[in-house]
Amino acid sequence: MNLSDPDLFRQAALIDGAWIARPDMEVTNPATGRAIGTMPDCTDEETETAIAAADRAMVGWRARTHSDRADILMRWYQLMLDHAGDLAQILTAEQGKPLAEAKGEVIYGASFVRWFAEEARRINGKIIPSPLPGKKIFAMKEPVGVCAIITPWNFPIAMIARKVAPGLAAGCTMVVKPSDFTPYSALAMGVLAERAGIPAGVLNILTGRPEAIGGALTASPVVRKLSFTGSTRIGALLAQQCAPTLKKMSLELGGNAPFIVFDDADLDAAVEGAMVSKFRNGGQTCVCANRILVQAGIHDAFVAALAKRVDALTVGPGTEAVAIGPMINAAAIAKIRDHVADAEAKGAARATAARDLPDAYADPVVLTGATLDMRLATEETFGPVAPIFRFETEAEALEIANGTPFGLAAYFFTRDMARAFRVAEALEFGMVGLNTGAISHAEAPFGGVKSSGLGREGAQEGIEEYLETKAFHFGGL
């Protein structure tokens, strides 16, 4: 890395305003497999210390005016933009995504900080007419309290921004546990948060393995909320661990997004949408199209056009001008290859040319003839694999699309406006894209139904997740 501000690269946890450096664990660059640095493996005692610090810091932080917190968040936003180049380099080094995409993630992440800086000033309560004379009822909004934030490796900056910014805007304090694959982006965000004026103890960042930290966070009665992005299996486990202390929870979990192309779709727009939705972050996105359903009349033209675009994708180290970087680790690559092998063994055919890529990379591939008995029909591949399922009727497409326990994102392409509303209403998903493959914006509610989780991030809904409503009954008037 060639950082213009090397101080952003911290190999230390942030607890109560102190940076704790201890070379317990290495972090590797997925492109080279070589270590880029170390980090402390924080213990449960250190987690307790961070929780206690966040609890003490609540008193001062919630007492600040909303506009004061908004100003601090706005400074954090501006610092992210000012340091976007360095943040992108750190992100690419630990996560692998191409530099241009990493910079896009920094800007995407910063958009949440800005959005919630603006929302901080609009945390309004209500006055409710009382059923009795001489009384008024106020619904007052208050911060939930100390929050535990557990973030994934696929969007290490954007997911912290999307969870921490609304919490801070609401007046909560935070204990953040970034993925042990990608701690440095989070720690750089911590440096910028300090520079923006976020006081000691308000934002704590713990590095290391998840078991001890997660166990202490979920068990603590002081922690009043947990927000997690990751797999459904771990989300369910965290929910179990949080049950005895009944924490408020936001869970953004796995998906199995259908992407439906009807015969009447604009072919070019559908192919472009598929590229955006499927190959963003090399397919390592929970809203990525996982099952591409194409109606018989447009099937061959769509496959030919998509395969041409996929064959043109460049793959290599994220520091070069490529479209797809390395996958996060060997386990991810093994799963992707297993899905493709399983599909081919069950009759799928490649519509794209085979490549001979080094071990760190996955072959971007379009597979035709996908069927429901294949692993990629029921599991998230989390890689650059585009399986095409052919269908005949709208009813059949909807049955396949909804035939999953997951309900995060769905996409469809049609020019028939009656069908647009019919299908949007019939899809059992938290987010639906019509004639677009891009659905991630700070302004839009993000989240799923069924096994894809609880709650919404971003948008006006995002700040509600960090607020409680207190009913204040005011008598004697």
Please report how close the Cβ of residue 319 comes to ligand SIN at its closest, in angstroms. 23
155 interacts with ligand SIN by CB under 6 A: yes
Pick from 89, 256, 285, 319: which binds ligand SIN (CB under 6 A)? 285
- The catalytically annotated residue of 252, 394, 457, 465 is 252
Nearest alpha-carbon partner for 190 in 9, 457, 5: 9
- Nearer CB in complex with ligand SIN: 61/77: 77
- Which of positions 207-236 make contact with ligand SIN (CB under 6 A)? 229
* Binding piece for ligand SIN, criterion CB under 6 A, among 283-291, 303-311, 314-322, 422-430: 283-291
73 interacts with ligand SIN by CB under 6 A: no
Based on the residue annotation, tell me whether 42 is a catalytic residue of this protein. no
Q: Which residues of 104-142 are buried (b: 16+ CB within 10 A; e: fewer)?
A: bbbebbbbbbbbbbebbeebeeeeeeeeeeeeebeeebe
- Is the distance from CB of 227 to CB of 147 less than 8 angstroms? yes
- Nearer CB in complex with ligand SIN: 186/286: 286
Q: Show the CA angle centred on residue 236, arms to residues 231 and 239, nearest 5°.
A: 125
Cα 382 from Cα 403, distance rounded (Å): 19
Cβ-Cβ contacts under 8 Å for 352 (sequence gap 6 or more): 307, 310, 311, 364, 365, 366
Amino acid of residue 298: I
Residue with the CB atom nearest ligand SIN in the bound state: 440
- The catalytically annotated residue of 286, 288, 394, 465 is 286
Residue 314: CB atoms within 10 A of its CB come to: 11
Cβ-Cβ contacts under 8 Å for 53 (sequence gap 6 or more): 15, 16, 17, 200, 201, 204
286 interacts with ligand SIN by CB under 6 A: yes
- Nearer CB in complex with ligand SIN: 92/290: 290
287 interacts with ligand SIN by CB under 6 A: yes
- Which of positions 345-384 make contact with ligand SIN (CB under 6 A)? none
Structure tokens at 339: 């899905």
319 interacts with ligand SIN by CB under 6 A: no
- Nearer CB in complex with ligand SIN: 250/440: 440
C-alpha to C-alpha distances, 151 to 7, 214, 332, 413, nearest whole angstrom: 23, 11, 18, 32
Please report how close the Cβ of residue 467 comes to ligand SIN at its closest, in angstroms. 22
C-alpha to C-alpha distances, 304 to 127, 298, 397, nearest whole angstrom: 60, 10, 21
Pick from 290, 404, 414, 440: which binds ligand SIN (CB under 6 A)? 440
- Nearer CB in complex with ligand SIN: 256/285: 285
154 interacts with ligand SIN by CB under 6 A: yes
Residue 397: CB atoms within 10 A of its CB come to: 23
Please report how close the Cβ of residue 362 comes to ligand SIN at its closest, in angstroms. 17
Based on the residue annotation, tell me whether 105 is a catalytic residue of this protein. no
Cα 12 from Cα 27, distance rounded (Å): 12
- Nearer CB in complex with ligand SIN: 284/352: 284
* Binding piece for ligand SIN, criterion CB under 6 A, among 31-39, 232-240, 285-293, 378-386: 285-293
- Nearer CB in complex with ligand SIN: 155/466: 155
Residue 212: CB atoms within 10 A of its CB come to: 17
Burial class of residue 42, CB neighbours in 10 A (0-12, 13-18, 19+): buried
The footprint of ligand SIN (CB under 6 A) covers 152, 154-155, 158, 229, 285-287, 440
Catalytic residues: 252, 286
